[in-house]
Amino acid sequence: MARVAVDLLGGDAGPGVVADAIAAILADPAAAGFDPDNELSLCLIGPDETVAALLRERSIDLDEHPSLRVLHAGDCVPMTASSHDTLALLRERDDLSSVVGVEAVRDGRVDAFVSIGHTGATVGASVLGLGRITGMGRPGLAVELPSARGPVVLVDCGAAPHATAEDLVRFAAAGSAYARIIGIPEPRIGLLSIGGERGKGDHLRKQADVRLEEEFGDAYAGAVEGHDLVGEPSADVVVVDGFTGNIALKSMEGALRWSVGVMAKAYGSFEPAREVLRTSHFLSGGSLLGVAGNIVVGHGASSADEVVACIRRAALLNAGSLTDRVREALGGFAPLNSRGELAT
């Protein structure tokens, strides 16, 4: 059984999107992509009165759904909050939805936490509440990209804007553990850069190129260019600092939206292109690697279908014992501090 807590607050469209996702799962778990033989328990996190009202609007009676429960949270970190303000709020208030969700994971009341709210709040609450796995510096967000030859795991796509070469080495180890959960038995590792030649790129890329080869040997495929990520990549796990990775991911999202519009004009309907996107890995959220718990971070603009996909992702992380696998993958690495530097 998977017990998944879902943040009702945050996101660009408000709590109704999350409530719609919960309603869809409760109405028909199999149609929502869940195995009926593996029980799913859901926990909604938000203000009690708001949760009750949203459930009533969707004709959901808690008494009729023993697999659905509620954890009260008074508020959330605003989507527009700066990094400084976010950290201050996380330290000052214990009733924020991100804090309540992470604490539920920490205390063993749920197996995973999903949020489409403020990314920094979810990442920060996870680091503060769960702690980093030994050997990890900064945690990294992993997403699956739908390349021409199968999924490619991109780490990091926004959790660690200021990464070091040692961080990227840990991203590679954790990302490889994640890749095995999704069915890639012997993942090859790549480094996102501006060219495939050895020694090309800025100081971080040059340092990381050397360190990745030292640590992973023949499993390191070298540098990967941006156009290869969804083309014919030579790597299954591609590592990058979160600043560059987030730009790369959102650039791809923008290109996809443009493509959907063009195809809609050509075929007279948005639906064929949207159906392709529904089956792509872009819709399943980012998995936070390197903290001691299962955390899934969805896009703030997620639709109800995408929230459902994030919940499926959380259940998969639990079934695949992600935390244990990452802990094992990092077992041979020297400890890092929170700045991605070798601990002294």
| Residue 227 banded pLDDT, cuts 50, 70, 90 | confident
Residue type, 135: G
If you average pLDDT over residues 220-227, what whole number do you get?
A: 90
Q: Which bin fits 155, alpha (ψ -120 to 50), beta or left (φ > 0)?
A: beta
> Of 81, 109, 130, which residue sits at a domain end?
130
Q: Are residues 75 and 187 in the same domain?
A: no
Residue 327 to residue 338: CA distance in whole angstroms: 17
The H-assigned helical ranges of 195-339 are 203-216, 242-267, 271-278, 304-319, 322-329
Instruction: Give the strand order in the sheet containing 189-192.
Output: 68-72, 40-46, 2-7, 112-115, 294-297, 286-289, 140-147, 150-155, 237-239, 189-192, 220-224
If you average pLDDT over residues 210-224, what whole number do you get?
A: 95
| Residue 274 banded pLDDT, cuts 50, 70, 90 | low
If you average pLDDT over residues 315-341, what whole number do you get?
A: 91
If you average pLDDT over residues 72-91, what whole number do you get?
A: 92
- Check residue 283 and give its pLDDT: 56
| Residues forming a β-bridge with 70 | 44
Higher confidence at residue 13 or residue 92?
A: 92
Q: Are residues 220 and 250 in the same domain?
A: yes
Q: Are residues 102 and 195 in the same domain?
A: no
CA 254 to chain centre: 19
- Check residue 231 and give its pLDDT: 77
Residue 340 to residue 65: CA distance in whole angstroms: 45
Q: Are residues 10 and 72 in the same domain?
A: yes
Residue 338 to residue 167: CA distance in whole angstroms: 10
Q: Are residues 32 and 86 in the same domain?
A: yes
Q: Are residues 106 and 224 in the same domain?
A: no
| pLDDT at residue 149 is higher than 90 | no
If you average pLDDT over residues 225-233, what whole number do you get?
A: 81
| pLDDT at residue 148 is higher than 70 | yes
Q: Which residue do the tokens 């976010």 mark?
A: 86
Dump pLDDT digits (tens) for 36-50: 778 899 999 999 999
| Residue 329 banded pLDDT, cuts 50, 70, 90 | very high
| Residue 95 banded pLDDT, cuts 50, 70, 90 | very high
The parent domain of residue 328 ranges over 133-285+301-344
H or E segment at 180? helix 165-181
3 state SS of 185: coil
Q: Are residues 256 and 110 in the same domain?
A: no
| Residue 122 banded pLDDT, cuts 50, 70, 90 | very high
Identify whether 140 is part of a domain.
Answer: yes
Identify whether 203 is part of a domain.
Answer: yes
Tokens encoding 137: 């510096």
Q: Are residues 232 and 277 in the same domain?
A: yes
Dump pLDDT digits (tens) for 279-300: 554 557 899 999 999 999 998 8
Residue 73 to residue 31: CA distance in whole angstroms: 30
Identify whether 113 is part of a domain.
Answer: yes
Identify whether 92 is part of a domain.
Answer: yes
Would you say 277 and 81 are in contact if contact means Cβ atoms under 8 Å apart? no
CATH of the domain at 226: 3.40.718.10
Q: Are residues 210 and 320 in the same domain?
A: yes
Identify whether 295 is part of a domain.
Answer: no
Q: Are residues 1 and 111 in the same domain?
A: yes
| pLDDT at residue 314 is higher than 60 | yes
Counting the structural domains of the chain, the total is 2
Would you say 143 and 246 are in contact if contact means Cβ atoms under 8 Å apart? no
Residues near 80 by beta carbon (within 8 Å), at least 6 away in sequence: none
> Of 71, 96, 130, which residue sits at a domain end?
130
Identify whether 30 is part of a domain.
Answer: yes
Q: Are residues 174 and 268 in the same domain?
A: yes
Q: Are residues 164 and 276 in the same domain?
A: yes
| pLDDT at residue 272 is higher than 80 | no
CATH of the domain at 24: 3.40.50.10950
Identify whether 290 is part of a domain.
Answer: no
Closest CA to 308 of 110, 21, 67, 54: 21
> Of 130, 157, 190, which residue sits at a domain end?
130
Pairing of strands 140-147, 286-289: antiparallel
Residues near 164 by beta carbon (within 8 Å), at least 6 away in sequence: 137, 204, 207, 339, 340, 341
Identify whether 292 is part of a domain.
Answer: no
Pairing of strands 112-115, 2-7: parallel
